[in-house]
Structure formats: C-alpha cells, structure tokens
Amino acid sequence: MKFILFLLSLICCIAFSYAQQSFILSGTIKDKRNQPLPGTGVYVSDYKIATSTDDQGNYILKLKPGNYNILVQLIGFKALNKNVIISDKNINLDFTLEENTTQLSEVTIKPDPNRLSYLNTFKTYFIGLTENAQKCKILNSDVLRFDYDREKSLLTVQTEEFLIIENKALGYKIKYLVKEFQYDYRAGIVYYEGYPTYEDLPGTENQKKKWSEKRQEAFNGSSQQFFNALFNGTSQKDGFIINKLIRNQAEEDLADSIAESQVGGLTSPRLLLPGSISFGTEKKPLIPNTITKIKSNHAVAVLNRAEIFPDTLVHRYNDDIKKIDFTNVLYVIYIKEKESALYKNRINMSVSRTPELANFQISLINLKVPPAYFYKNGGVYNPRSMLFEGYWAWEKIADSVPMDYIPTAAP
C-alpha cells in the first residue's frame, strides 16, 4: 500500500514538474540577402521577456507552454511578428527582415496642421484618462502615422517602429508596436491592437515599493485577473460577482450595424468607450425575484441578479486553455475596490447599477464570436471575440501590467 501511495505521489510530482517545465524557442534573424542581423531585439508581446541576437543573428528564449506573439525589431528594418505555440518541445523559429524604405521627407513635405489634435485624441483613448495615465509620457510621438477619413469621421493611427511610453505611475517603460488604432468620432468607438513589451524603470527602493503597490492595484479587478481567476476557479474568492444583463434587442442590432458599417466590423476587448452602446444576442428566461430593471444611457435594460457560478460558465478546452460561451451580456462586479473618482465623475461613463452595488467597479462583457478562449495567466487567445464596457474599457495602456506579472499579495 505504501508503495502504491509512493508511486502515485511520484506520478503527481512528475506531472507537476512537466506542467512547470520551460522549453527553448530559438532561431536566426537575417535580411533578404541571407545576412545575419546581430543586435536585433526579440520581444515576447505582452510580457516582460526580451533578448537580442548575437553576432551570428541567433537568439534563444526560454518559455513555458502557451501561445505567444514573438516580435523582432531592428532600426532600419520593418518590425515583424510571428505567432508560436509552445506545448511539449523546443521550437525553432527564424525571421527574415525587410528593409524599411520609408523616407522622412514624406513627413516633412506634407505637414498636417491637425496632427496635434489627432495626437491628443490618440493619447486620450490609447493611454487613457485614469490617475495612472496622468503620469505617462510618450517619448517619441513622431513615429505615429495619422490618417483621417473625413467621410467616415475615422482616425487611424499606426507605427512601423516602437512607440515608447514611460509610465512613472507603475514603473514601466512600454514599447508598443501599434498595428492599428481607430477612433470613430461619430459613433464614439475606439479600437486598437498591437504588440506591447515591458521593461522595469530604474528607481530607488522607495520608488520600487510604491510601483509594486500601484501594479498590484492595477492588476486587482482587471480583466487579466478576472480570466486568471476564472481559469483557477477562484473568481468568487478574488472578489468577482457575475450577473446577466439583458438589453433592448433593437438597440443592440443598431449598435452592431454602426460598428460593422463604420469601423469594418472591428471587435476587440477595448472597442467600446465606457458608457457607449453595446451588443447582445438572444434573450433568456429569467429567474423570479432576481430581476431588476435599470435605466442605461440609451434604454431600459434588465439586470438578473442571480449569480452565475464559474463551474457553469467555464469549460475546459485542453490542459492549457479554457473557454466561456454565453448569451446576453455578462455583468461583472468587482467588490474589493471602489470606482475611481475620475471615472465616476465623468458624464455617461459609469455603468448603471442598483443601489446596493454602491460604487463597486462594474464591467460588461459582450460576446461577439463565441466561444472566448483564455489561459491561466489571464491572457485571451482570441480577444476579438469580446467587447468590454465599463471599468475595463476605462482602464487602458496606463493601467496595464505584463502577462507574466505575479501579484505580490492578495487584495
């Protein structure tokens, strides 16, 4: 009997060790003439993991199992990214970079008198308006390329080099390759996607202590913590309560039409501004005595206060990925922190609620392309599947932490 117990313990230890095992991602980076490119930066998007190539253009990264976007960048060449899935073995991934032929003269020949206005719009809806955003600074805004479509009232922003953001609130230097940013002035819809990487800023011990506290605060109640908690089955313990919101279907159909016609059907966790119209699907029977009607900014919606439990919402896809699939809108309440005063005082931003919910942080999840898949670290495999509203839409780059962030203490 002791031998059987020992064997079972050994098997469990081996399985645990395997789950924690890291694998090697390596490769060579060359130009189109097959010449190695030493000193090329190799970054893991959304993480605080980076390296550079040696004299032969070779790089090595040690990564745990997961889905990663690997970004490579060298001055004079176009940045390039590739997706890689690390599962149970080492992987070789090579890159061939193309020279960047964009001429600086193109920018100086066609100066845009509206550039400052576009830049301020970009800062507002990309960096954010939170307390942390006030301590962020873009160090090289000249790399931003603006394009404004007057007919559609649509501002588009892109970069071919890293946009560098100094976040003195959280102690990060963020390098962000902006793949696409769009702001629709008519519909009030913002969407962006790209490849961020994080580095710690140098600081005194006192500064590092304050940054650690602020990072913990930024992580608490975030969508990253929420999906991490869903994966681990700890969402209730971590302070999240999940309800359902049923909205006027005609209004939701109109919102879909606006988004698809004016923004090309864009979907992203950061698509909707707080307080803007959002989307839903079919209606569902409601549980008696748990229904409350609340008035939103646009129509009367029905909030079902019956709690949705993780074991009914979350389903296993494989060992590394879980998924959620639901109808209507998830109404996520975080009860361990109050809303920011800046957020609460902005007109039409705070999500409508019943009196007993006081000033808790509330976010809405609209599922556009079901199901949504996510990892243990809180990363979402297909982020375009969802639309966020409320607090998660209010918090943007200034309040983000890397995917490999480890909380220092329970909130």
Q: What is the pLDDT of residues 18-58, one digit of tens each?
A: 445 889 999 999 999 999 999 999 999 999 999 999 999 99
Is the predicted pLDDT of residue 72 greater than 50, yes or no? yes
Gyration radius of the chain's alpha carbons: 23
Residue 66: HSE in the Cβ half-sphere, 13 Å Cα cutoff = 23
- Residues 188 and 276 sit within 8 Å (Cβ to Cβ): yes
- DSSP H or E stretch at residue 249: helix 249-262
Is the predicted pLDDT of residue 264 greater than 60, yes or no? no
Q: What letter represents residue 307's amino acid?
A: E
For domain 19-97, give its CATH number from 2.60.120.10, 2.30.300.10, 2.60.40.10, 3.20.20.80. 2.60.40.10
- DSSP H or E stretch at residue 216: helix 205-219
pLDDT of residue 259: 43
Is the predicted pLDDT of residue 201 greater than 60, yes or no? yes
pLDDT of residue 248: 66
Is the predicted pLDDT of residue 398 greater than 70, yes or no? yes
What is the per-residue pLDDT across 114-159, written as a single tens digit (0 to 9) for each? 999 999 999 999 999 999 999 999 999 999 999 999 999 999 999 9
Mean pLDDT (whole number) for 81-107:
81
The whole-angstrom separation of Cα 269 and Cα 23 is: 30
Closest by Cα among 113, 129, 112, 111 to 121: 129
Is the predicted pLDDT of residue 80 greater than 80, yes or no? yes
Is the predicted pLDDT of residue 79 greater than 70, yes or no? yes
Q: Using the 8-state DSSP alphabet, how is residue 77 labeled?
A: B
Q: How confident is the model at residue 161 (pLDDT cuts 50, 70, 90)?
A: confident
Is the predicted pLDDT of residue 276 greater than 70, yes or no? no
Is the predicted pLDDT of residue 349 greater than 90, yes or no? no
The whole-angstrom separation of Cα 36 and Cα 34 is: 7
The whole-angstrom separation of Cα 25 and Cα 47 is: 15
What is the per-residue pLDDT across 208-220, written as a single tens digit (0 to 9) for each? 999 999 999 999 9
- Residues 324 and 357 sit within 8 Å (Cβ to Cβ): no
For 25, list phi and psi in degrees, rounded to 5.
Answer: -105, 120
Is the predicted pLDDT of residue 275 greater than 60, yes or no? no
Domain residue limits, the chain: 19-97, 105-200, 223-394
Residue 104 is encoded by which pair of tokens? 């600086």
Mean pLDDT (whole number) for 229-235:
95
Q: Pick 252 or 369 by higher pLDDT.
A: 369
pLDDT of residue 262: 40
pLDDT of residue 156: 95
